[in-house]
Chain A
């Protein structure tokens, strides 16, 4: 009986520790939440992948050094969540202008097959993107796209009807090029406050 009590306590203590670790201290039950907590606790460097914008110009994250950037991932044919991302970016753009915060917005398309320069420019026009603040771009090839998606932990799945399902979020990259915060689409206020926090 005493042995069983000892063994059970040992199993329960070890199990509790594992479950505590697996939920980041009972805070994260999904991979998405866990990722957000981890990034807030220790910002992660993002690979400086070359992107191409709607007019064929090259853009790199390092171009933004010294400025905070909010990055989102989209595909222009998206009927649902990317439209919402576009609307939120539109709102953020207005706040950045009104507030004069030295920050930029960058939408990266992961649909290399369909999103060429024309589609990117059209998406920018529809959502009223002001190129001095909000740029749209795509990686040059699938390998670099994978590198980016991995760094931001964005998982893109084909939805079986020609589109994609993806975890959509606002990714705040600090002036040092590190990913410092991930926010839900409707948390654009929190994302904006994160941008302002970089102003010394």
Chain B
């Protein structure tokens, strides 16, 4: 039920952020462009694909064992849209803009299909990398002597850097905190017979 509701909400949000007025509004500022529009596109893709993951996966499981293919695709798309050049391109060039509205939802979708299959180690690495990458980005945005995007003001670049730093620290605390008071479930063997107790009558 919640999944169905989330699916319709995601479709609605995807249509809304793609509509011209909302698209232009969110692209007016670097902060809303990178921290609202782009994540919204990814999340919508994720939510839409999650509802139909069984149908999408059917017959294709062997191409995405351990989620490797889907994760690779998503990481490449994210790397591309992390480039200041691509952000500028999406504001200046309709082709880039179109590509953004297609690739980011697909990256979200491919992450949704792959995430449940990822080994725990990969998830840990991804979480660590996300936090450190956000801190590096924040450092670049706040300390760069010049504007990284010609289409945006310097103040917005500074503000983006500061917000990303706060988000990175928040996520770091969240991920780190879950190690101590998390919801990790210890998988027990199905036969709960204690070792050595088999012969006891």
Q: Is A78 an interface residue (CB 8 A)?
A: no
Q: Is A167 an interface residue (CB 8 A)?
A: yes
Mask: chain B, 45-77; 1 = CB below 8 Å from A; 0 = not: 000000000000000001111101100110110
B149 A11 Cβ-Cβ under 8 A: no
Which residues of chain B from 15 to 73 have any CB-CB distance to chain A below 8 Å in the complex? 62-66, 68-69, 72-73
A165 B153 Cβ-Cβ under 8 A: yes
Q: Is A18 an interface residue (CB 8 A)?
A: yes
How many angstroms between the C-alpha atoms of A19 and B76 in the bound complex?
8
A167 B150 Cβ-Cβ under 8 A: yes
Mask: chain B, 125-152; 1 = CB below 8 Å from A; 0 = not: 0000000000000000000001111111
Q: Is B79 an interface residue (CB 8 A)?
A: yes
Query: Residues of B contacting A167 with CB < 8 Å?
Result: 147, 150
A29 B72 Cβ-Cβ under 8 A: no
B80 A22 Cβ-Cβ under 8 A: yes
Among the stretches B2-10, B84-92, B158-166, B187-195, the one at the interface with A is B84-92
A7 B69 Cβ-Cβ under 8 A: yes
Chain B interface mostly: helix
Q: Which one of A4, A15, A29 contacts B84 once the chains associate, using CB atoms below 8 Å?
A: A29
Quote the shortest CB–CB distance from A34 to chain B (angstroms).
Answer: 6
How many angstroms between the C-alpha atoms of A149 and B10 in the bound complex?
39
Number of A residues whose C-beta is below 8 Å from B? 28
How many angstroms between the C-alpha atoms of A16 and B73 in the bound complex?
11
How many angstroms between the C-alpha atoms of A3 and B66 in the bound complex?
12
Q: Which one of A3, A19, A155 contacts B150 once the chains associate, using CB atoms below 8 Å?
A: A155
B72 A165 Cβ-Cβ under 8 A: no
**Assuming A4-B64, A4-B66, A4-B68, is B86 touching A22 (CB within 8 A)?**
yes
Quote the shortest CB–CB distance from B140 to chain A (angstroms).
Answer: 9
Q: Which one of B72, B83, B146 contacts A22 once the chains associate, using CB atoms below 8 Å?
A: B83
A1 B65 Cβ-Cβ under 8 A: yes
Q: Is A159 an interface residue (CB 8 A)?
A: yes
How many angstroms between the C-alpha atoms of A27 and B64 in the bound complex?
33
Query: Residues of B contacting A157 with CB < 8 Å?
Result: 151-153
B85 A19 Cβ-Cβ under 8 A: no
Q: Is A141 an interface residue (CB 8 A)?
A: no
How many angstroms between the C-alpha atoms of A48 and B66 in the bound complex?
59
B83 A4 Cβ-Cβ under 8 A: no
Quote the shortest CB–CB distance from A45 to chain B (angstroms).
Answer: 20
A30 B149 Cβ-Cβ under 8 A: yes
Query: Residues of A contacting B85 with CB < 8 Å?
Result: 22-23, 28-31, 33-34
Query: Residues of A contacting B83 with CB < 8 Å?
Result: 22-23, 29
Query: Residues of A contacting B72 with CB < 8 Å?
Result: 8, 11-12, 15
Give the one of B63, B69, B148 with max A CB within 10 A: B69
Q: Which 8 A-B pairs have the closest CB atoms?
A: A15-B76, A31-B88, A4-B65, A7-B69, A155-B150, A30-B84, A11-B72, A3-B62
